[in-house]
């Protein structure tokens, strides 16, 4: 009878072969001693050895759920992002993973696909799951959803986008300066009719990049060409449509500043469809330096964000806050750098002539 019970429970326990009790029995000590022996309490050497041997023989793995319950906390970090398929976020995740893994935490990942409802649901799931901390990029439409978790005292770090007036640590990049540098570069090459395709202004990154665009004109003593600023969502199709429209205007822009990687791809598609030459007919600068940027012909001039480092910083900040919850709030802003390739007619291409 105990035999059969035993077997059933092992199977239902998803691969748990034995508990601390079994180890204790085999080693001839109490469970307390086993626990102490395995997690660094003071235990007589010979007993410790016996325990360790028993544990190995039985392939003992402490049950995480029991441990979490007792400890009142988990070793998992939640990551909530708008779009896993966007390589920028992928790199961020990669950076987070690196740091978090090294610290012995696991990563719970959720993708809300820019949908505020899913964002809310996933947030609730993370809360229920009892994550030790959360790294997130909000959809920005309703950041108040995050309030309950903040009040619950769960450490959180916002990444890339500023989450309204939530009081949390933040890691962002110098969007305004990056955009300014990109547009200034175009202006320096003689462009005046420079269009910008941008995401929704409700998202802080879009707003900041637009400010950079405007500042570049103001710095150069030029009027900001408001009619050349187009807003759409951050997807490739939207960028394609927006740029197609721009390029079919009677006075076509001579250059395009695309405010994100997917918008850049859409823009390129539109340019190619009209059989225009880059940079002779239209120059283009992108945002985000992706793996494919230098494989384009001509290679793409773009504003690079240190995505990996964004992830790493966020993870480090989160771990620090988990250890010391009461330190003052911090905001880290990482540099962006303009990478000049050939898609504006400067750099490599001109150097070649």
Residue 90: which of DNA, its own copies, none does it interact with, CB under 5 to 8 A by kind? its own copies
Does position 152 interact with its own copies (CB under 8 A)? The reply is yes
Please state the φ and ψ torsions of residue 327, each to the nearest 5 degrees.
Answer: -70, 155
d(CA 9, CA 303): 57
Does position 323 interact with DNA (CB under 7 A)? The reply is no
Span 23-52, contacts to DNA by CB under 7 A = 28-36, 38-39, 41-44, 47
CB-nearer residue toward DNA: 36 or 193:
36
d(CA 156, CA 110): 15
Q: Which residues of 294-315 are buried (b: 16+ CB within 10 A; e: fewer)?
A: eebebbbbbbbbbbebbbbbbb
Quick one: 87 exposed, middle or buried, by C-beta within 10 A (0-12, 13-18, 19+)? middle
Does position 269 interact with its own copies (CB under 8 A)? The reply is yes
Please state the φ and ψ torsions of residue 163, each to the nearest 5 degrees.
Answer: -90, 70
Instruction: Return the half-sphere exposure (C-beta side, CA atoms, 13 A cut-off) of residue 35.
Output: 9
d(CA 172, CA 313): 10
Does position 84 interact with its own copies (CB under 8 A)? The reply is yes
Least spacing, CB of residue 62 vs DNA, in Å? 4
Residues 302-331 as x/- pattern, contact with its own copies by CB under 8 A: -----------------------x------
Least spacing, CB of residue 68 vs DNA, in Å? 8
At 125, list the tokens: 């799931």
Does position 244 interact with DNA (CB under 7 A)? The reply is no
DSSP 292: T
Please state the φ and ψ torsions of residue 110, each to the nearest 5 degrees.
Answer: -145, 145
- Positions touching DNA (CB under 7 A) are 9, 13, 16, 19-21, 28-36, 38-39, 41-44, 47, 60-63, 66-67, 69-72
- Positions touching its own copies (CB under 8 A) are 9, 11-17, 59, 61-66, 68-69, 72-74, 76, 84-85, 87, 90-91, 93-94, 97, 101, 106-111, 118, 122, 125, 127-132, 148-149, 152-154, 236, 262, 265-266, 268-269, 272, 290-292, 294-297, 299, 325
């Amino acid at each position: 009878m105990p035999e059969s019970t035993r077997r059933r429970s092992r199977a239902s326990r998803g691969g748990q072969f034995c508990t601390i009790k079994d180890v204790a029995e085999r080693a001839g000590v109490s469970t307390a001693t086993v626990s102490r022996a395995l997690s660094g309490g003071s235990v007589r050497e010979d007993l410790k050895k016996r325990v360790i041997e028993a544990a190995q023989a039985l392939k003992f793995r402490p049950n995480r759920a029991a441990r979490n319950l007792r400890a009142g906390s988990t070793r998992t970090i939640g990551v909530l992002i708008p779009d896993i398929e966007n390589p920028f976020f992928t790199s961020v995740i990669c950076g987070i993973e690196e740091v978090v893994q090294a610290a012995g935490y696991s990563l719970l990942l959720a993708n809300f696909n820019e949908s505020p409802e899913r964002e809310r649901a996933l947030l609730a799931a993370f809360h229920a799951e009892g994550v030790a901390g959360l790294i997130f990029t909000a959809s920005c439409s309703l950041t108040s959803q995050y309030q309950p978790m903040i009040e619950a005292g769960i450490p959180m770090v916002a990444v890339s986008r500023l989450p309204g007036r939530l009081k949390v640590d933040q890691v962002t990049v110098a969007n305004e300066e990056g955009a300014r540098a990109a547009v200034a570069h175009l202006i320096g090459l003689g462009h005046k009719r420079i269009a910008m395709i941008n995401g929704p202004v409700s998202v802080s990154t879009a707003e900041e990049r637009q400010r950079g665009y405007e500042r570049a004109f103001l710095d150069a003593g030029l009027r900001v060409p408001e009619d050349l600023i187009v807003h759409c969502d951050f997807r490739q199709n939207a960028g394609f449509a927006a740029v197609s429209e721009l390029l079919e205007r009677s006075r076509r822009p001579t250059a395009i500043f695309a405010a994100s990687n997917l918008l850049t791809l859409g823009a390129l598609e539109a340019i190619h469809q009209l059989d225009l030459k880059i940079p002779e007919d239209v120059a283009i600068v992108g945002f985000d330096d992706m793996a494919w940027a230098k494989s384009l012909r001509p290679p793409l001039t773009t504003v690079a964000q240190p995505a990996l480092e964004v992830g790493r910083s966020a993870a480090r900040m989160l771990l620090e806050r988990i250890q010391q919850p009461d330190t003052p709030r911090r905001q880290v802003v990482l540099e962006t750098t303009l990478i000049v390739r050939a898609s504006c007619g400067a750099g490599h291409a001109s150097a070649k002539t």
